[in-house]
Structure 1
Amino acid sequence: MTSYDPKEWFSFIFKFHRGDTFKKLIPLMLAIAAYSGGVAYLEMEYWMLSDKSHIKNITVMHTMLGFVISLLLVFRTNTAYDRWWEGRKMWGALVNNSRNLSMKLAVMLDDKEDKEAFRKLIPAYASVLNLHLKNEDISHELFDDATLSADHYKHKPNQIAKTIMAKLNEIYRQGKISGEQLITLNSEVNSFTDICGACERIKNTPIPYSYSAFIKKFIFFYVMTLPFGYVFQLGYYVIPVVVFIFYVLASLELIAEEIEDPFGNDPNDLPLDKISENIKKNVEELLY
């Protein structure tokens, strides 16, 4: 995720970064410019249409549809941001639940070996979940004396959660914690799986195809028809005007596409690596 100072206006305006939509849209913007120039040339130089031509009135359609397209794009970006923010809330809950579980274990347990096991397992869940959501390869080596099974487990976060539950059950059988304490700790471990399921729901449920396709087609045809009417008012200045309108509309759609899946390596995605590292630091500090 890109770190920035929201009060620095000039850095936003004059600096281009990896996530800027301008770079991604340059080829299409050049094509739109050439298209707009071609339409302007045909209408003014080749066909020599007068101001009384009915084509001039096509701007009425753009005025009517401008409000509709703005509503669609607002709904699109709001929906995408809701998914991004829900993902952030889930990882915030994972941070808090990891701390709560570590604090309870630190108070309930006296055996240093037991504490050391949870000191490794709890941060491992966050790290593995991070890689799982990014579809990256997960090493089977969990830590020095334990491994993730390569044969029986495709879902690695579930394996870590199962290992934590098995360890809790083991110390309960040994009489190191009471049944009431086990129930208390069990709710914290269950929350890990709930968070994982919520993140997978966000990742595996994209915006419906027909809705996304319709917005792209709407933007395309809206922009393609702009030069026909506005040539009479702007002349060749219609080229930069149409390009700018396309840049604004297409950028909103690109931003929505990027943030609707917040679990990746794009500049606007959630900083899962940093959050996982913070969880590790917190747990190691509590379970010393």
Structure 2
Amino acid sequence: MISYNTKDWFTFIFRFHKADTFRTLFPVMIAIGIYSGFIGYLEVEYFKLSDNSYVKNITIMHGMLGFVISLLLVFRTNTAYDRWWEGRKLWGSLVNNSRNFAIKLSVMLNDKEDLEYFKKWIPMYATVLDEHLKDIETSKELFDDAIFEIDHEKHKPNQVAKLLFQKINELYKRNVISGDQLIVLNEEVKSFTEICGACERIKNTPIPYSYSAFLKKFIFFYVMTLPFGYSFSLGYYVVPVVIFIFYVLASLELIAEEIEDPFGTDENDLPTPKIAANIKKHIEELI
């Protein structure tokens, strides 16, 4: 995740980071500029359409659809950010639950070997969960064309949670912890699995295809029709105007695509490896 100063305006305006959408859209923007200039040339220079031409009235359509496309983009970006923020809250819960788990064990247990076991495996859950969520196969588990062999060893977070509970159950059988303490510790391990399931829900359930495809088509055809109406009033200045409009609309869609999966490797995704490292540091301090 990119670290920045929210109050530094000039850095935002004049610096192009590698995560900036301008780099991604630049080739398409050049093509749209050439297309807009060609349409402007045909209407103004070649066909020499008059101001009374019905083609000029196509701007009425753009005015009507501009409100619609703005609503769609607002919904798109808000939905994507909700997924990003929910992912951050889930990993925040994982941090807190790991700390609480370690605090309780450090008080309940006296044997150094038992404490070393949990000192290793509690932070291991966060590390394994991070790798699990970055696995491309995890994002395809609910797809209709996905075919998987039944192999429970592939789900590493479940294996770590199982080892933690096995150790707790062993401590109970050895009378190291009481039944009430077993129930308390079981809830901590249970919370790990619930967080994993919630993260998987975000990972393998993308925005519905129909909605995403419709929005991309809407933006494309909206921008492609802009030069037809505005060439009359702007002339060749329609080129930078159409490029800028496309940059704004397409950038919002690209940003939404990037943050709707907060567990990837993009610049604006959650710093889950850093969070996992912090969990390891805190557990080592507590146990």
TM-score, scaled to structure 2: 0.94
Q: CA deviation at 1:136?
A: 7.4
Which residue type is aligned with residue 163 of structure 2?
T
Q: What is the rounded CA distance, in whole Å, between the counterparts of 1:161 and 1:136 in structure 2?
A: 22
Partner of 1:142: none
Partner of 2:75: 75
Deviation string, structure 1 residues 197-252 (Cα, Å, up to 9, x no partner): 00000000000000000000000000000000001111100000000000000000
Which residue type is aligned with residue 229 of structure 1?
G
Q: What is the rounded CA distance, in whole Å, between the counterparts of 1:39 and 1:222 in structure 2?
A: 15
Question: Identity over aligned residues, as a percent?
Answer: 73
Partner of 2:66: 66
Q: What is the rounded CA distance, in whole Å, between the counterparts of 1:176 and 1:6 in structure 2?
A: 51
Deviation string, structure 1 residues 122-176 (Cα, Å, up to 9, x no partner): 0000000000000179xxxxxxxxxxxxx85110000000000000011111111
Partner of 2:146: none
Q: Secondary structure at the match of 1:233?
A: helix
Deviation string, structure 1 residues 237-273 (Cα, Å, up to 9, x no partner): 0000000000000000000000000001101000001
Q: What is the rounded CA distance, in whole Å, between the counterparts of 2:201 and 2:136 in structure 1?
A: 18
Which residue type is aligned with residue 154 of structure 1?
K
Q: What is the rounded CA distance, in whole Å, between the counterparts of 2:254 and 2:5 in structure 1?
A: 22
Q: What is the rounded CA distance, in whole Å, between the counterparts of 1:204 and 1:259 in structure 2?
A: 14
Q: What is the rounded CA distance, in whole Å, between the counterparts of 1:222 and 1:268 in structure 2?
A: 28
Partner of 2:102: 102
Counterparts of 1:1-288 in structure 2, within 5 Å, are 1-135=1-135, 153-287=153-287
Q: Secondary structure at the match of 2:193?
A: helix
Q: What is the rounded CA distance, in whole Å, between the counterparts of 1:67 and 1:152 in structure 2?
A: 49
Q: Secondary structure at the match of 2:18?
A: coil
Q: What is the rounded CA distance, in whole Å, between the counterparts of 2:242 and 2:213 in structure 1?
A: 21
Q: What is the rounded CA distance, in whole Å, between the counterparts of 1:136 and 1:99 in structure 2?
A: 29
Q: What is the rounded CA distance, in whole Å, between the counterparts of 2:284 and 2:170 in structure 1?
A: 22
Which residue type is aligned with residue 177 of structure 1?
I
Q: What is the rounded CA distance, in whole Å, between the counterparts of 1:224 and 1:153 in structure 2?
A: 50
Q: What is the rounded CA distance, in whole Å, between the counterparts of 2:106 and 2:44 in structure 1?
A: 80
Q: Secondary structure at the match of 2:153?
A: coil
Q: What is the rounded CA distance, in whole Å, between the counterparts of 2:152 and 2:135 in structure 1?
A: 18
Q: What is the rounded CA distance, in whole Å, between the counterparts of 1:22 and 1:102 in structure 2?
A: 46
Deviation string, structure 1 residues 57-104 (Cα, Å, up to 9, x no partner): 000000000000000000000000000000000000000000000000
Partner of 2:145: none
Partner of 2:147: none
Q: What is the rounded CA distance, in whole Å, between the counterparts of 2:122 and 2:18 in structure 1?
A: 33
Q: What is the rounded CA distance, in whole Å, between the counterparts of 1:213 and 1:68 in structure 2?
A: 16
Q: What is the rounded CA distance, in whole Å, between the counterparts of 1:88 and 1:152 in structure 2?
A: 27
TM-score, scaled to structure 1: 0.94
Q: CA deviation at 1:55?
A: 0.5
Which residue type is aligned with residue 121 of structure 1?
W
Q: Secondary structure at the match of 1:153?
A: helix
Q: What is the rounded CA distance, in whole Å, between the counterparts of 1:118 and 1:239 in structure 2?
A: 63
Q: What is the rounded CA distance, in whole Å, between the counterparts of 1:73 and 1:118 in structure 2?
A: 46
Q: Secondary structure at the match of 1:50?
A: coil
Which residue type is aligned with residue 34 of structure 2?
A
Which residue type is aligned with residue 158 of structure 1?
N
Q: CA deviation at 1:18?
A: 1.6
Say which is worse superposed, 96-105 or 12-21, in terms of deviation. Answer: 12-21
Q: What is the rounded CA distance, in whole Å, between the counterparts of 2:153 and 2:179 in structure 1?
A: 29
Instruction: List gaps (5 residues or longer) in structure 1.
Output: 138-150
Moved over 2 A (4+): none
Which residue type is aligned with residue 273 of structure 1?
P
Which residue type is aligned with residue 262 of structure 2?
P
Q: What is the rounded CA distance, in whole Å, between the counterparts of 2:60 and 2:190 in structure 1?
A: 58
